[in-house]
Chain A
Amino acid sequence: MGDGKITRRRFLWMSSLSAAGAILGACGTGKEKPPEVSGFRFDYDPMRSYPYRGWESLYDKQWTWDKVARSTHSANCTGSCSWKVYVKDGVMLREEQASDYPRIGKDLPDYNPRGCQKGACFVEYVYGAQRLRFPLIRTGKRGEGKWRRASWDEALELVAGRLLENVYRYGPDTNTFFSVIPAMSPVSFCAGSRLAHYLGGVFLSFYDWYCDLPPGEPLTWGVQTEACECADWFNSKMIVFWGSNVTQTRIPDAHFAFEARYNGAKIVGISPDFNSSCTHADLYLGIAPGTDADLALGVARILVEENLYDGPYIREQTDLPLLVVEKTRRFLRESDLEEDGNDSVFYFFDEKEGDVRKAPGSMGSPVRSIGLSGAVPALTGRYVVSGRKGEKITAVPVFEMLRKILNRYPLKEVARRTGLSPRDIVAFARDMGTRKPAMIIHGAGTNHWFHNDLINRAIMLLVALTGNVGKNGGGFNHYVGQERIWPEEGFKKLAFPEGGKKQRFQNTTLWTYVHSSNRDEHRYNGKRIEEYIEESVAKGWMPLYPRNRKQKPRSLIVWRANYLNQAKGNEKILPSLWSDLDLIVNVNYRMDTTALYSDVVLPASSYYEKTDLNTTDCHSFIHPFSKVLDPLFESRTDWDIFSALAKKIEEIALRRKLAAYRDEEFGWTRDFTTFHRQWSGDGKIGTDEAAADFILANSEETKGMTFAGLQARPLRFVNTDPHVWNSDVEEGIAYTPFKHQVEKKKPWRTLVGRQQFYIDHSWFLDLGEELPVSKEQVTDPYPLYWNTPHGRWSIHSTWRDNRYMLRLQRGMPIAYLNPQDAAARGIADNDWIRIHNHIGFCVVRAKILPGEPRGRVTMYHGWEKFLGFQQGGWQSLTYIKIKPTQLIGKYGHVNFRLNYWGPTGNNRDVKVEVEKAKI
């Protein structure tokens, strides 16, 4: 072989030359033969075979285990992924996706494997330095990190004693409880909610506070949030990622979108930054931050102009044909036309019969169906009717009002405001109008703006106009926050056994605003938000506790959440609300920021050491948490912790011979000497497994299931409770909501019985928001938007301090800057920077990102305050702003209900400046 390649033969030859020493040095007596030149025993060619393969058992042995058990994670990620955890020599080694979700339908890709990189390293938390191992009581200042170890008895005695004292001295509504997202671990949730319930404490909301609730859904559809399960994405032919970065935030489900693409869907990515989801899109719209309503209304205008809307659908399923009185801009109601007329009966003009008719299916209508029976409600025209007193009333369909609004969004103007090219906008609009079914996957990118309700409604308008809501592969699908507890009825009975009407519920945004020194100086229609708040509370639209306005909350118990680290207006909360609280208790498995700043920390078992359930919007299965190992160290399951606390309350009440407390708000006489018996449902729900079985047994969705039966594999829900949900679970078909309305003509759960785009509440009319419009951001005089999206490296604050994750990033909090914005400020990659505004500041490092738009700085959210920040935290720049429209109540279907309706904790409108920092 003369080509110079190293061959075995040449190798030997050359080695033999160097082994000349072997020849030369080997001569001894001279009598024996010299040794073989090739002192190599390479009588094999490693390209073809190898004689020493016994060592391969090394890696075989590495992949062995003594025990494997099924569990999952309770982080509020919407994944709800079933995992197998492997134990060797009594130590949890690693986890791997169970990957055994049953197939829904032959053509649909399956859900496997389900789980992400974060779930794949949760074991680190089980044994890591941040794991809480025994009860701790603070010795230094809050947040200092100085503790003394306490016994369970001492810690529980302290907490129970104070809780009871607060009830008798200051009122039960001074004890406050914060735990989030029942769906991710309802048994753990209910352990504490039952305690709050029987104690008369205030239970705080989370879905609205986190700004994950899309207010457009309760307003337009009368629901909390209803989305299709992610397998349904595969049925779509047009998928729009709007403010939603699924490759980062829907990791277990993102594949359905890209597989749908191969199956014929077009993907559109709408985001100010060229994010990872947009890299796989067919069209990328790099929209200017906060201008999403402009784009949506511009697209709606094209749909209407080019006749791309679904006429029959909107006539039947939406309020677009309902008549609105021109003068008052309020719906035409029966009470306008008839003596003793109903306030909740509405009208349309029937083109077929040529007259004005009552619309069936509204809240006041005796007809419990929205079926039109052949009527053809008009979308255009002006109609004159005779009022109650014989006066002439001119009314037009909502659709006419909408067209007037849409006229304000011509293509050129929309292109200017959004920074998009007209060609791209038109292409997008035409695809929205013609590709069916079409869906919009909506996320926090749009939902965290102050005017999120307008943005939601404008975007929802597009899928309503095109008839895509209530159809497989279509709809407005919002997955931010794992708020869907499928077996809801069973859960509610377990969580608040005496009923929701006997429980104090509180919107957290309002509670935090009022009780901290957060102040929003903006004016809304010339009025300060405090005025709106007072009116809302006085009218009973929004609750506010403690009821005695001179009283401040005295205690806060947090479990399954990181309230402090995540709270908007952090800098204002710490010196006011947080320092005013007399007792702060945290139940947790790791020392997160809230725990660090608490008075008493009770060690909870990790996700792999307890019994619980897990459900999500993203799929239609239920599966369990199991005790891979019993609770480690001195930790206990949430259920056992609250059980012990309940016992302690009972013990103290008996010891102090406490008289029963008369809770006037509910007419409830609270006897704490039998507290544990009440808490445990008269002893019937003593264990966490009993609690899990209770939920399963008391819900339509899980009829026939037991906790034990969930161990083999995730099980699909058998059906849905029609009181709660709006579609059936159908075999072989992915779940999508609102089929009851679209197929069975059941009324929508709104005032008008239809998808309601027109909200004629007086506040909406005053603010000009009766129909979706676009509005300027409510912001501050700084140059850069402060953007804090959800990303792939954490679920909120969970996994932020996990080494495996930190090693695959830059090890500490960073903020992303556009190259030109950075250059203008003399900032280079990895420089220390100071991000500040009038509220506060934080010091972190910079990462220069070409895909970041100008005029914005991004920090993916949830970084723990104690990790990496030289000063401040990621919420040091924000403050609480409440939108007046989200304070309304007693408007048909729009009423305060925990996590269903209430002011959202928006944060996107915040602006900051950035400069190089000296470290």
Chain B
Amino acid sequence: MRCAKSLTIPVFLLALALPARADFLLEAGRNTPLLMNRTPALFLTDPAGPKADPKAHARAQVDGKTLRVTLSWEDPTEDAVAGAKRAAYGGDAIYKKPTARTDLFGDAAALMLPAEKGGRAPGIMMGDPAREVRILLWRAGTGVETLRGRGRGTVEKARNASGLSAVQARNGSRRQVTFTVEDFDPELPVSFAIWEGASGDRNGYKWYSPWYLVRP
């Protein structure tokens, strides 16, 4: 049976079969390097291969019920989609915002955590039918979105977006996104994803981490 060209499952993924170990911990206040995986190509028509490791770090802080975690990574090119740019001329109703790039994908980063406590961790690919996840997605150019998911292809905008926010900054060639979750329970694991716009990252073409536990 013919399938996608490069479909190798990195050996280290097998390590994820084990329960959460001390390796996948975010010590509060410590800038922890993250283990980032890359989704393999799905379709025959997909562009091939992983890109340079983004050298992602996360620093978590828990204040009472509020989790603040700053994700940072190497982002050599600032890629943003047009989002809210104004049209060039005129303020009348007939002037509309233009599309500036059709083939550009923007940089983005996400924090994912289970919607509810208890039980096993949800499937790492946006949850699974039994275990819903909340996703806090920051996108360059358009800002923050909160989503819900029950597995691949099921992600949709969350109706209730309160208690979640994100803000970004740049530090030289590294980008930082600080996620804030206001009703955080430290029993909930968190996971991160990074999209590099210049590489055409979107959807499942991304860097993603396994589940991490936050040690306050």
Q: Which residues of A contact B (CB under 8 A)?
A: 2, 4, 6, 10, 13-15, 17-30, 32, 35-36, 38-42, 91, 123-124, 127-129
Q: Report how far A91 CA is from B121 CA in the complex, Å.
A: 53
20 sample A-B contacts, Cβ–Cβ < 8 Å, listed by A number: A14-B4, A15-B42, A17-B9, A18-B40, A19-B123, A21-B125, A22-B128, A24-B13, A24-B14, A24-B124, A26-B121, A27-B16, A27-B120, A35-B123, A35-B128, A39-B128, A39-B129, A39-B154, A41-B129, A128-B90
Nearest A residue to B152, CB-CB: A39
Q: Report how far A26 CA is from B19 CA in the complex, Å.
A: 9
- B34 to chain A: closest CB distance in Å? 14
B interface, over-half SS: loop
**CB-contact partner of B93 in A4, A20, A27, A91, under 8 A:** A91
Known contacts A35-B129, A35-B131, A41-B154; A28/B121 CB under 8 A: yes
Q: Report how far A56 CA is from B116 CA in the complex, Å.
A: 33
**CB-contact partner of A40 in B20, B154, B211, under 8 A:** B154
Whether B120 and A10, one on each chain, are in contact in the complex, defined by CB atoms closer than 8 angstroms, is no
The residues of A that contact B131 with a CB separation of less than 8 Å are 35
- B112 to chain A: closest CB distance in Å? 11
* B64 contacts the other chain (CB 8 A): no
Q: Report how far A443 CA is from B36 CA in the complex, Å.
A: 72
Q: Which of B67-113 contact A (CB under 8 A)?
A: 89-90, 92-94
Known contacts A14-B3, A21-B16, A35-B130; A26/B42 CB under 8 A: no
Q: Report how far A23 CA is from B18 CA in the complex, Å.
A: 11
Known contacts A40-B152, A42-B153; A17/B127 CB under 8 A: no
Whether B129 and A28, one on each chain, are in contact in the complex, defined by CB atoms closer than 8 angstroms, is no
The residues of B that contact A36 with a CB separation of less than 8 Å are 128-130, 151
Q: Report how far A32 CA is from B121 CA in the complex, Å.
A: 10
Q: Which residues of B contact A (CB under 8 A)?
A: 1-4, 7, 9, 13-14, 16-20, 37, 39-40, 42-44, 89-90, 92-94, 119-131, 150-154, 204, 208, 210-211
The residues of B that contact A14 with a CB separation of less than 8 Å are 3-4, 7, 42
Nearest B residue to A24, CB-CB: B16
| A-B contacts besides A22-B128, A40-B152, 6 pairs, CB < 8 Å | A6-B44, A25-B211, A39-B127, A41-B150, A91-B93, A127-B94
- B192 to chain A: closest CB distance in Å? 13
Whether A41 and B19, one on each chain, are in contact in the complex, defined by CB atoms closer than 8 angstroms, is no
The residues of A that contact B9 with a CB separation of less than 8 Å are 17, 20
The 6 closest A-B pairs by CB, nearest first: A39-B151, A28-B120, A22-B123, A25-B124, A35-B128, A24-B16
Whether A32 and B120, one on each chain, are in contact in the complex, defined by CB atoms closer than 8 angstroms, is yes
The residues of B that contact A13 with a CB separation of less than 8 Å are 3
Known contacts A25-B210, A25-B211; A17/B19 CB under 8 A: no
Q: Report how far A13 CA is from B125 CA in the complex, Å.
A: 15
Nearest A residue to B119, CB-CB: A32
Q: Report how far A10 CA is from B131 CA in the complex, Å.
A: 25
Nearest A residue to B209, CB-CB: A25
Q: Report how far A127 CA is from B92 CA in the complex, Å.
A: 7
**CB-contact partner of B39 in A2, A18, A25, A35, under 8 A:** A18
Nearest A residue to B120, CB-CB: A28
The residues of A that contact B40 with a CB separation of less than 8 Å are 17-18
The residues of A that contact B44 with a CB separation of less than 8 Å are 6
- A90 to chain B: closest CB distance in Å? 10
Whether B1 and A15, one on each chain, are in contact in the complex, defined by CB atoms closer than 8 angstroms, is no
Whether A30 and B19, one on each chain, are in contact in the complex, defined by CB atoms closer than 8 angstroms, is yes
The residues of A that contact B4 with a CB separation of less than 8 Å are 14
The residues of B that contact A40 with a CB separation of less than 8 Å are 151-154
The residues of A that contact B210 with a CB separation of less than 8 Å are 21, 25
Q: Report how far A425 CA is from B111 CA in the complex, Å.
A: 79
Whether A19 and B152, one on each chain, are in contact in the complex, defined by CB atoms closer than 8 angstroms, is yes
The residues of B that contact A91 with a CB separation of less than 8 Å are 93
Whether A27 and B17, one on each chain, are in contact in the complex, defined by CB atoms closer than 8 angstroms, is yes
Q: Report how far A731 CA is from B39 CA in the complex, Å.
A: 74
The residues of B that contact A30 with a CB separation of less than 8 Å are 19
The residues of B that contact A41 with a CB separation of less than 8 Å are 129, 150-151, 153-154
The residues of A that contact B2 with a CB separation of less than 8 Å are 4
Q: Report how far A181 CA is from B129 CA in the complex, Å.
A: 72
Nearest B residue to A129, CB-CB: B90
The residues of A that contact B126 with a CB separation of less than 8 Å are 39
The residues of B that contact A32 with a CB separation of less than 8 Å are 119-120
Whether B19 and A28, one on each chain, are in contact in the complex, defined by CB atoms closer than 8 angstroms, is yes
The residues of B that contact A28 with a CB separation of less than 8 Å are 19-20, 119-121
- B26 to chain A: closest CB distance in Å? 16
Q: Report how far A17 CA is from B208 CA in the complex, Å.
A: 16
Q: Report how far A648 CA is from B118 CA in the complex, Å.
A: 86
Known contacts A14-B3, A124-B94; A39/B17 CB under 8 A: no
Whether A6 and B19, one on each chain, are in contact in the complex, defined by CB atoms closer than 8 angstroms, is no
The residues of A that contact B124 with a CB separation of less than 8 Å are 21-22, 24-26
The residues of A that contact B125 with a CB separation of less than 8 Å are 18-19, 21-22, 39
The residues of B that contact A15 with a CB separation of less than 8 Å are 42, 152
Chain B CB within 10 Å — which of A4, A26, A91 has the most? A26
Whether A20 and B123, one on each chain, are in contact in the complex, defined by CB atoms closer than 8 angstroms, is no
The residues of A that contact B127 with a CB separation of less than 8 Å are 39
**CB-contact partner of A2 in B1, B123, B152, under 8 A:** B1
Q: Report how far A333 CA is from B151 CA in the complex, Å.
A: 102
Nearest A residue to B153, CB-CB: A40
Nearest A residue to B16, CB-CB: A24
Nearest B residue to A89, CB-CB: B93
Q: Report how far A23 CA is from B154 CA in the complex, Å.
A: 18
